[in-house]
Chain A
Amino acid sequence: MTEFEYAPALESTSILNLQSDYNLFINGKYVPAKTGKRFPTINPATGEAIANVAYADLADVNAAVAAARTAYEKVWGKMPAAERGKYLFRIARILQERAREFAVLETLDNGKPIRESRDTDIPLAAAHFFYHAGWADKLDYAGLGANPKAHGVVGQIIPWNFPMLMLAWKVAPALAAGNTVVLKPAETTPLTALLFAEVCQQAGLPAGVVNIVTGDGVTGTHIVSHPDVDKIAFTGSTGVGKAIARAVAATKKSVTLELGGKAANIVYDDAAIDEAVEGIVNGIFFNQGHVCCAGSRLLVQENIQDEVIEKLKRRMSLIRVGNPLDKNTDLGAINSAEQLARITELTSTGDAEGAERWSAPCDLPSKGYWYAPTLFTGVSQTHRIAREEIFGPVLSVLTFRTPAEAIEKANNTPYGLSAGIWSEKGSKVLWTANRLRAGVIWTNTFNKFDPASPFGGYKESGWGREGGRHGLAAYLKGGKN
């Protein structure tokens, strides 16, 4: 029988207007860093530099905060709420118009498959602006009492796994609530945030309402410790989240944190197995597993373990790893050499501690950063690969016999961001959902996101929620949600 091969189906990059150098966006204008310093941003699929980006130092952060403060006091804070909302509606529309351009740039800078940036990241980012636009003139009904107040200047620090989507999660509610922002995109993925600045210009957003400073962790600490920043919103690692909590302990700054996770994906023996296998794959291999809520701990009922693993391996063998710009690609590049080293280091402890590794047979490109879809069986709860966030395409498989044991194992983690449940029995699904200590629970699905749905974790997965009425509250005073 003839086997039909996929023909390459590359998304063109001609839609992009790439520059060799990118500047900061402060007070409505693109400006170089005061030191003139720049750093390269790398295409992880090739390992080659795409462009050089301005490195924001303390003086640049000071300028951005000053611009945000002036905009808050002179313009944005005084503007009728309905007008504020209309700017957000404009931004949502422009993002939709330029969606393909954003998707291609995101894939180039981040390494994620174009299928995901095109169908998930960018549409959801636009949806977040549209959703929050409607909140701007309805804050009295947000459940915080009449006339809730904005914080003022909000410092926002976002990660590299969903650069544009995380920007939208942060900027849209902040602006809707009447704050102005200083946003720092991740060091390895600054380009879509800088393109977003252009959208702000096209929308006619008043100068200083959104300021974007590119840089590294040091740039982030300048934002966190700036005395004129009223609120910090951070998405990233639990380690950095704790450092931020300590750094602001003696201040009146309000803080929200979206941190790590080690989600259990529980598959009961009465689940629809084929659907569950699709859900497991989506749960851990979506976005190369660079997902804080990834279903990285598979908890499968012991009596169906063999069947599930066999089907999972067959399905994993069909995952197409390669050029992220190819429309048929399922698994793109690992975002950076540093992240690849972390995945490699953590998975090697899986081997050393006695778990059994299996990787899907696939050809990895010779250039860039890649990791084959991998699963470990025979994992025990004490293994590092069962406890620590790998943040890569690596699944740890554990088993359970009774529902009570599934709960016990699922909750046995300092994290509490998300979880999945697979069963065809509705009452059992809800029994399980009630007992899981996690902020987002997917039943017979996984990795679903929506601007109307609050997202955020229990325990060491963070403080506060993003999305929905509960997420909005984080950007208003009086709201302790």
Chain B
Amino acid sequence: MSRIDVMKTYKLYINGAFPRSESGRVYELKNAKGSFIANPCWASRKDLRDAVVAARAAFGGWSNATAYNRGQVLYRIAEVMQGRAAQFADEIVAQEGLTPKQALAQVEEAIDLMVWYAGWTDKISSLAGAANPVSGPFQNFTTPEPIGVVGTFIEAKPSLTSLVGSVAAIIASGNTAVVIASEKFPLTAITFAEVCATSDVPAGVINVLTGKTPELVGWMGSHMDVDAVDASGLNSKQLTELKIAGADNLKRIHSFKSAKSPERILAFVEYKTVWQTVGI
């Protein structure tokens, strides 16, 4: 008799731990051929709130880490992803219906994308900041700062590059992330969470929820401690719902087409201008 595989329990990732949904709910995932793959967690509003609490708590430390340090942590994620390449590829084959070769190509692209963003952390300020020539005895500088807690809804396909492009850009400047995995193809997001847990990413900097996107859009939008949202994975109806709810605290809500763009980083910074009086 052949050996029985040890199947993985796919859980949420909140504050560096892997809890199940407090609601006790799961939903069934089938592969492209219709057979059972897994029962990922069906996250609730309460899980979302726990993730935001964790992300807020992690913001101070992560945003105050040096840009060099953040760059190394992002690079470390890429290193550990490389070791898990086969697992990511298997999940992509099972879910997205790609050939193993195509799936591996996506994994390699995603790893390289993480490396690309790792190199951005200590260059954002030089490029996006400014020394402003004001008329008076002042030194006047504008510098980008992370905006805070950023939620993100991940597109279904390609599941891994979409995820990395969004999350890496969000955390590169010092934000912390609450990730809502694609409802349809969440497996790579959970494995990515396992990578984060072993990659020097401080607990709470990246939190990953799986579940039903329509259920979480409104709660993400109305949460007063979420500062911004990457809405790339939402359809236009969900985007409108998010924007209306998000107006309560004027969330910055952006969607992107390309996974690889500095615009993704710059959309989630705030510009601080400091006037320093010059004199003796």
Q: Which residues of A line the B interface, CB within 8 A?
A: 127, 143, 238, 241-243, 245-246, 249-250, 257, 259, 414, 416, 429-430, 433, 438-445, 448, 450, 452-456, 458-460, 462-463, 465, 468-470, 478, 480-481
| Cβ 8 A contact of A456, one of B127, B130, B136, B271 | B271
In the complex, what residues of A have CB within 8 A of residue B250's CB? Answer: 238, 241-242, 245, 257, 259, 459-460, 462-463
Q: How distant is the Cα of A469 from the Cα of B246 in the complex, in angstroms?
A: 27
B275 and A459 contacting across the interface, CB-CB below 8 Å = no
Q: Once the chains bind, are B128 and A441 in contact (CB under 8 Å)?
A: no
Leading 3 A-B pairs by shortest Cβ distance = A249-B243, A245-B247, A450-B134
Q: How many residues of B contact A (CB 8 A)?
A: 34
Mask, B243-264, CB within 8 Å of A = 1, is 1101111101010000000010
CB-based nearest B residue for A440: B273
**Does A249 lie within 8 Å of B244, measured CB to CB?**
yes
Q: Which B residue sits closest to A449, measured CB to CB?
A: B134
A75 → chain B, closest Cβ, in Å? 31
- How far apart sit A379 and B115, CA to CA, in the bound complex (Å)? 51
Instruction: Enumerate chain A residues within 8 angstroms of B267, measured Cβ to Cβ.
Output: 480
Q: Are B271 and A470 in contact (CB under 8 A)?
A: yes
Interface: B240 (CB within 8 A): yes
Check B138 for interface membership: any CB of A closer than 8 A.
Answer: yes
B247 CB, nearest partner CB in chain A, Å: 4
**Chain A CB within 8 A of B66 CB:** no
Chain A residues with CB under 8 Å of B32's CB are none
B17 within 8 A of A: no
Known contacts: A439-B272, A441-B275. The answer to whether A452 contacts B132 by CB under 8 A is yes
CA distance A250 to B274 in the complex (A): 36
Is the beta-carbon distance between B275 and A443 smaller than 8 angstroms?
Answer: yes
0 or 1 for each of B113-137: is its CB under 8 Å from A? (1 = yes): 0000000000000011010111110
B212 → chain A, closest Cβ, in Å? 22
Sample 24 A-B pairs with CB under 8 A, ordered by A number: A143-B127, A241-B250, A242-B247, A242-B248, A259-B250, A433-B272, A433-B274, A439-B272, A440-B273, A441-B272, A443-B274, A443-B275, A445-B277, A450-B140, A452-B135, A452-B140, A454-B130, A456-B271, A458-B270, A458-B272, A459-B249, A459-B250, A460-B250, A481-B128
**Which secondary structure characterizes the binding site on chain B?**
mixed
Q: Is the CB of B273 within 8 A of A249?
A: no
Residues of A within 8 A of B243 (CB): 245-246, 249-250
Whether B275 lies near A442 (C-beta < 8 A) is yes
Beyond the given A443-B276, A445-B277, please list 4 additional residue pairs across the A-B interface where CB-CB is below 8 A.
A245-B246, A250-B240, A468-B273, A480-B254
For the complex, is B203 an interface residue (Cβ under 8 Å from A)?
Answer: no
**Most chain A beta carbons < 10 A, residue from B127, B134, B147, B227:** B134
Q: Measured between C-beta atoms, what is the minimum distance from A227 to chain B in Å?
A: 16
Q: Is the CB of A453 within 8 A of B273?
A: yes
Please state if A127 and B135 are interface contacts (CB–CB under 8 Å): yes
Provided the pairs A452-B134, A453-B132 are in contact, do residues A445 and B275 lie with their beta carbons within 8 angstroms?
A: yes
In the complex the two chains form, what is the Cα distance from A454 to B274 in whole Å?
10
Could you tell me the distance between the alpha carbons of A249 and B231 in the complex, rounded to whole angstroms? 13
Residues of A close to B247: CB separation below 8 A = 242-243, 245-246, 249
CA gap between A430 and B143 in the complex, in Å: 13
Question: Are B276 and A452 in contact (CB-based, < 8 A)?
Answer: no
